[in-house]
A and B are shown apart, each in its own frame.
Chain A
Amino acid sequence: MAVIFQKPKSLSDVTQHYCPGCTHGIIHRLIAEVIDDMDIEGETVGISPVGCSVLAYNYFNFDMIQAPHGRAPAVATGVKRARPDLFTFTYQGDGDLAAIGTAEMVHAASRGENITIIFVNNTIYGMTGGQMAPTTLSGQVTQTTPFGRDIKTAGYPIRVCEMLATLEGTAFARRVSVDTPQNVREAKKAIAKAFELQKNEAGFSIVEILSTCPTNWGLNPLNSLKRIREEVIPYYPLGVYKDKTKEGESS
């Protein structure tokens, strides 16, 4: 019988620890599929962050480095500068990337570092029990904003793609979501494009993927996906924010 669906080669055959309804699993799979499609598993070095996806080093079937909190873009820079022939991406959550790792993110982009950031934005710190993240929406209840995020005291949620798109070094910045099958397919296209850009030495690329956190949002998986559509996408619109390729310039 012909095999029509199977685990990508680049995903390890182990049980993942993610909560039910969390979309990290989908995103892991998409990355693994793209790496399989490009047949670059043997030359890939992934960088896992601190946060829910810290254990990503167990889930991917290629070489992995676990970086200090927020420092993944600097670690990826070290790998890429030392060995430009390797393929390098970081996998980072919103707290890791857009709070403690802001400087590393901005300067890797500004240098046009030939790496890719896969930015998983679920508007909350998941691993530590649901604290306010830099991307937490106004009014969102978290452990550290028990009365909802108050813009007056906690400031505004950061739109990372829009910010990085202003930097000359950013070659590609796109925000996608994995809340519907159609959006999942689009997300895969975005990852594939970013990875191709790196292969072509085009410079810095980032794919922001809106993700769910049913556990810390206090919602079931279906309502979590609904929240993405009704609350998250309106503040974080999907789209291409930067594309230095020919297609991007002509669009």
Chain B
Amino acid sequence: MKGNEAVAEAAIRAGCKCFFGYPITPQNELPAYFAKKLQASGGVFLQAESEIAAINMVLGAASAGVRSMTSSSSPGISLKAEGISYIAGSDLPCVIVNVQRGGPGLGSIQPSQADYLQATKAMGHGDFHVIVYAPCSVQEMVDTVFKAFEIADLYRMPVMILADGLLGQMMEPVSFPDFTLSEPTKKWAADGHGGKRKKNIINSLFLQPDDLERTIRERFARYDEIKARETEAELYMTEDADIVLVAYGATARVVKSAVNLAREQGIKAGLVRPVTLWPFPEKELNEGAQNARALLCCEMSMGQMVDDVKLAINCSKPVTFYGRTGGSIPSPTEILEEIKRIGGVV
């Protein structure tokens, strides 16, 4: 199944009742699948007039307590930034998929990982975070979608699945596990008080500085919980690794091949693959890089996650970067060459 379609099918199985989107390549199969299938499962598909309207429709549906989702690609995600900030500021759950393409501007329609900083550091104005998952296969995309809806409801916040054009367009065998939904009762929702409770207000405005500070601090206390409980990473052949590579998403697949090639040639390489980009798996990275002499961060960008890698290990070891950008995908041999080069200089 194609990555984009698998995400949509998984979302329907995860109890997503509303999808609002706008056409943009390379994620078009995702809304198209919803358009075909969501209504039959009692849900709502609506093609909005803009990315901005789409995210605000998500805001409305989520406010009413209904599992909702939108998807887009890089330029479209920039347009959604305002709405994502309001959703975070109003403590609303939702799932947002970014099938990244090359940027800045209209960039390209080829795969890219150049939205890392946007997703993990500044997904809109103000003090807030979204949880960011970076799956690396179609199967993992499916599994992540289910988790994303659960986690969004659990912590009442937006969850982003940061994919890329490669993951969205690739076809892989996939199985859909039996999801057991655990959607909580949403007592906070604006869904009509029915004369049974006080009115609910969904709001991100706090005119008194003390009130806003308290709200944000409460939210950040929740972020600490998320860091402790939800951080995920995959460690691959790191136990004895001299050189530890760090990569996420589609790039991690290429890097894994490069690690295998290096091992065949007697070079002790390993891989740490962050599964959550926010929170960033600092502890897992340090564990994986324990015996390493050097780290090599690989991305489809000019180097964005590499800063988090340096911070996570507190610059205690040399960290180098190798990246391709503009829609180019690095090859395993390219990365192997880089591993050898670093192996030589360390």
Task: Please give the residue numbers on chain A whose beta carbons come within 8 Å of chain B beta carbons, in ascending order.
Answer: 41-45, 47, 54-55, 57-58, 60-68, 71, 74-83, 86-87, 103-104, 106-107
Contacts and interface: CB of A to CB of B under 8 A. Distances in A.
A75 B61 CA distance: 7
Contacts of A63: 190-193, 199-201
A192 B21 CA distance: 33
B59 interface: yes
Contact of A75 (B17, B63, B191, B203): B63
Given A42-B194, A68-B83, A74 B53 contact: yes
Output the residue of A47, A65, A104, A106 with the most chain B CB within 10 A.
Answer: A65
A80 B192 CA distance: 12
B128 to A, nearest CB: 14
B193 to A, nearest CB: 6
Contacts of A68: 56, 59, 82-83, 86
A68 B81 CA distance: 11
Interface stretch (B41-49, B155-163, B255-263): B41-49
A45 B192 contact: yes
B82 A82 contact: no
Given A86-B192, A104-B49, A107-B49, A78 B199 contact: no
B194 A43 contact: yes
B191 A71 contact: no
A76 B202 CA distance: 13
B60 interface: yes
A78 B192 contact: no
A60 B200 CA distance: 11
B53 A66 contact: no
11 contacts: A45-B63, A60-B199, A62-B193, A63-B191, A64-B201, A65-B201, A66-B202, A68-B82, A75-B56, A78-B68, A79-B64
Contacts of B57: 74-75, 77-78, 81
Interface of B: 17-18, 20, 44, 46, 48-50, 52-54, 56-64, 66, 68, 82-83, 86, 90, 190-196, 199-205
Output the residue of A68, A104, A106 with the most chain B CB within 10 A.
Answer: A68
Nearest to A58: B201
A79 B58 contact: no
Nearest to A64: B201
A117 to B, nearest CB: 14
A81 B52 CA distance: 17
A81 B202 contact: no
Contact of A82 (B17, B54, B90, B204): B17
Nearest to A40: B192
B190 A79 contact: yes
A83 B66 contact: yes
Going nearest first, the 5 A-B pairs with the smallest beta carbon separation are A78-B60, A74-B56, A82-B61, A78-B57, A107-B49
Given A57-B203, A65-B202, A66-B201, A42 B60 contact: no
Contacts of B203: 57, 64-66
B205 A45 contact: no
